Each structure stands twice: as structure tokens, then as C-alpha cells.
């Protein structure tokens, strides 16, 4: 059984965890929609009346909507990932999601900071170079893009280790180690997951377009459908990575990562 097939099966092996993550994705989408709708009205008032308090209120509404949506999706996704990442024959702890969610936030923040710094630095170098040639641009971009791709792959693996309640730093180190060792396998897996989730992402794009062309109940229904499709695609991808790690562990290659309690 391939990793993508095993990942798809995991979604149904843990139906309650999957359903919770899907509910979190929908709730996050609706919270974001409500916040942006409120902010749009405030921005219109601020522009019309040149009101700075309304502009600040709009910015606060956007911030709270994004924060609430992120928290909902992260906590519920952590519950699902804790189930998918559990070694064979083990069940995650009842409240594992509340311990895993901060680790997922930490890993996401580290990934975003490093990627933005690397790409921003390369952008500044290219902007300050007078008339860069294609060869010099490739020489500058290629190493950075390789590091970015490697970091993204390592972070996806680290998320699975973190879902096993590993400390974020140890999870990231183990993710980097596995990404270096299994980089071709991770690239093949990324391609397989991309092809497998393409119909879901296509449906999500159509649903998002439909939500912008309609209003009322129809618009909400489109956004719910889009959230279900994107969340399912995300869960499938992470479950496939968990299947790859489980197969690597069965071969005796995966580094043992200690959890917060210090147990192996």
C-alpha cells in the first residue's frame, strides 16, 4: 500500500478525529467570513468619514477573526494529527490536542520566519544588483530555494513528530534528519499528494468563486464546501507523511524522538 493510500485510509480509521478537524475547518472559515464582513463595513465607514477609530476597529476585527480562525483550525487539526501520528497499536491521550497545538504553532512560526527571511534576503540582493544576468540570478536563487523546499519538507515531518507530543525543537531536528535522508521519497510523496488532492482543491476553488458570486445562504454553503475540501486535502497530506514515517520506523531508520515526559 502506498503512503497516499495509507494516508487516505487513516482518515476513515479515525472517523471522530477526522470529523472534529473538518468541523474546525468549517468553523474557522465561518469565523473568518464574519470578521472580514464586519471589517469591510467598518472600512467603508472609515473611508467615507475619514474616521481613524473605525479604521482601527476594522483592523482589530480582522486580527481577531484571523486569530480565532487559526486557533480553531490548529486545535482541531492537532486532535486529528495526534490520532494519525500515533504508532501502530497506540491511541493518543484524551487531551493530546491541547498539548500538541502549541507545538504546531511554534513550528509554523519558525518555518514562516526562516522562509520569509531567506526569500526577503535574496530579493534584496537581486534588487541591489545592477542588471543581474540569468546565470547570476540562478546562482543566487537555487541554493535558497533548495533550503526553502528542504525546510518545508522537514517542517511537515516535524509536525507529525510534534503530534506525538515531541518537544518542537527535537521534532524539528528529527524532521530535518529525515528530510535529508528521505528527500527523494518526500518529493515523490508531495507529487502524489498533489495529484490526489487536485480534485479537492479544484472543487474548493470553484466553491470559493461561487461564494463571491452569490450572497446569503448560497454563499455560506459554498464557503462551507470549500472549507471541507481544503481541510480534507490538508489532512490527507499530513496522514500520508505519517504513513511514510511509520514505514520508515518499521524499517528501523527513524530517529527516536523523546516526548515531553522524556519517554521514548
Average pLDDT over residues 146-162: 93
Model pLDDT for residues 9-56, shown as the tens digit of each residue: 999 999 999 999 999 999 999 999 888 888 888 888 877 777 788 888
Enumerate the H helices of the chain as residue ranges: 3-13, 15-49, 52-85, 96-128, 134-163, 168-181, 183-213, 217-250
Task: Give the Cα separation of 45 and 84 in Å (integer).
Answer: 47
Task: Give the Cα separation of 209 and 51 in Å (integer).
Answer: 32
Residues 6+ apart with CB under 8 A from 170: 161, 257, 258
What does pTM read for this prediction? Answer: 0.86
Model pLDDT for residues 204-245, shown as the tens digit of each residue: 999 999 988 888 888 899 999 999 999 999 999 999 999 999
Task: Give the Cα separation of 96 and 233 in Å (integer).
Answer: 22
Model pLDDT for residues 102-112, shown as the tens digit of each residue: 999 999 999 99
CB 170 within 8 A of CB 253: no
Task: Give the Cα separation of 211 and 219 in Å (integer).
Answer: 4
Amino acid at each position: 500500500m502506498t503512503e497516499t493510500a495509507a494516508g487516505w485510509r487513516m482518515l476513515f480509521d479515525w472517523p471522530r478525529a477526522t470529523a472534529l478537524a473538518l468541523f474546525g475547518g468549517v468553523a474557522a472559515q465561518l469565523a473568518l467570513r464574519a470578521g472580514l464582513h464586519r471589517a469591510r463595513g467598518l472600512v467603508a465607514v472609515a473611508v467615507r468619514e475619514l474616521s481613524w477609530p473605525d479604521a482601527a476597529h476594522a483592523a482589530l476585527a480582522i486580527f481577531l477573526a484571523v486569530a480565532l480562525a487559526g486557533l480553531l483550525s490548529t486545535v482541531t487539526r492537532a486532535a486529528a494529527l495526534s490520532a494519525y501520528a500515533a504508532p501502530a497499536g497506540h491511541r493518543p491521550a484524551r487531551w493530546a490536542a491541547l498539548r500538541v497545538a502549541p507545538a504546531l504553532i511554534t513550528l509554523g512560526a519558525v518555518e514562516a520566519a526562516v522562509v520569509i527571511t531567506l526569500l526577503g534576503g535574496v530579493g534584496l540582493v537581486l534588487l541591489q544588483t545592477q542588471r543581474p544576468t540569468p546565470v547570476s540570478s540562478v546562482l543566487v536563487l537555487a541554493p535558497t530555494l533548495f533550503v526553502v523546499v528542504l525546510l518545508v519538507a522537514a517542517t511537515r515531518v516535524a509536525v507529525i513528530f510534534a503530534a506525538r507530543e515531541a518537544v518542537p525543537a527535537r521534532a524539528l531536528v528529527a524532521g530535518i534528519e529525515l528530510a535529508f535522508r528521505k528527500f527523494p521519497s518526500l518529493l515523490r510523496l508531495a507529487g502524489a499528494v498533489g495529484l490526489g488532492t487536485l480534485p479537492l482543491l479544484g472543487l474548493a476553488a470553484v466553491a470559493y468563486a461561487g461564494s463571491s458570486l452569490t450572497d446569503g445562504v448560497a454563499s455560506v454553503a459554498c464557503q462551507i464546501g470549500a472549507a471541507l475540501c481544503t481541510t480534507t486535502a490538508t489532512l490527507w497530506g499530513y496522514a500520508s507523511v505519517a504513513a511514510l514515517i511509520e514505514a520508515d520506523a518499521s524499517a528501523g531508520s527513524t530517529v527516536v524522538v523523546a516526548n515531553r515526559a522524556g519517554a521514548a
